[in-house]
Amino acid sequence: MRGVYLYERLLQIQTMKANDKGTTMADFSQLITQHIPRLRRYAKALFSDPALAEDLVQDCLERAWSKQHLWNGSGDIRAWLFSIMHNLHANEARKFNRRPALIPMEAQNDQPITGNQESTLALNELEAALHNLPEKQREVLLLVGLEQMSYEEAADVLNVPTGTVMSRLSRARENLRSTLYGAHKQSNIRRIK
């Protein structure tokens, strides 16, 4: 079993196949299906309420399905799906936005802090701090830090300039850093505006 890399490769092969012959229904369906786990991970990280997260993923998939003709068949389908999700979420901000952050403590407490041996980061604190971030900062942080998109890809998904991605990312991380690591001295490096 080759783990993540087999999976990534499979996606590549399927994308290539789709590009070769034009996308058939079956290809399209498969391409989408394989991204569902990632869409769910992102949505669940974005919202503390799991039901809202599932709703968003479902809306996103339905939209993708109905807009199949808008996908040109050669682009990066992951970016396309994430941008659909982003637009849905932005348009329905009122529905998704105004819920208090619910942190399922019992789900988090059993996850020990491991990671780097000397890491002082507590996961439950990270999750709480994440949900206290302004949503625009949270989106960028998750696309980059969790989904591992490049800054350009994240900019495409959010339909903003790369500079905006950088400044939101910077603010998100500095926010988390001061919440999670306490007061710290700012290094005197040239700042992102």
Interacting residues with another protein between 130 and 189 (CB under 8 A) = 130, 141-142, 144-146, 148, 150-151, 166, 169-170, 173, 176-177, 180-181, 184-189
Q: Pick between residue 68 and residue 97 the one whose CB is nearest to another protein.
A: 68
Among residues 28, 177, 144, 105, which one has the least CA distance to residue 186? Answer: 177
Integer angstrom CA distances of residue 186 from 58, 119, 168, 190: 42, 20, 17, 11
List 72, 100, 110, 116, residue binding another protein (CB under 8 A): 116
Q: Interface with another protein includes 57 (CB under 8 A)? A: yes
First to last CA, the chain: 45
Q: Kindly state the smallest distance separating residue 15's Cβ from another protein, in Å.
A: 13
Residues 5-34 that bind another protein (CB under 8 A): 5-7, 9-10, 14, 25-30, 32-34
Q: Pick between residue 1 and residue 22 the one whose CB is nearest to another protein.
A: 1
Q: Interface with another protein includes 88 (CB under 8 A)? A: no
Q: Pick between residue 2 and residue 94 the one whose CB is nearest to another protein.
A: 2
Q: How many residues bind another protein (CB under 8 A)?
A: 72
The C-alpha atoms of residue 36 and residue 14 are separated, in whole angstroms, by 15
Contact 101, 131 (CB under 8 A): yes
Helix (H/G/I), strand (E/B), else coil: 117: coil
Q: Interface with another protein includes 190 (CB under 8 A)? A: yes
Q: Pick between residue 26 and residue 72 the one whose CB is nearest to another protein.
A: 26
Contact 36, 61 (CB under 8 A): yes
Q: Interface with another protein includes 100 (CB under 8 A)? A: no
Q: Interface with another protein includes 54 (CB under 8 A)? A: yes
The C-alpha atoms of residue 147 and residue 162 are separated, in whole angstroms, by 17
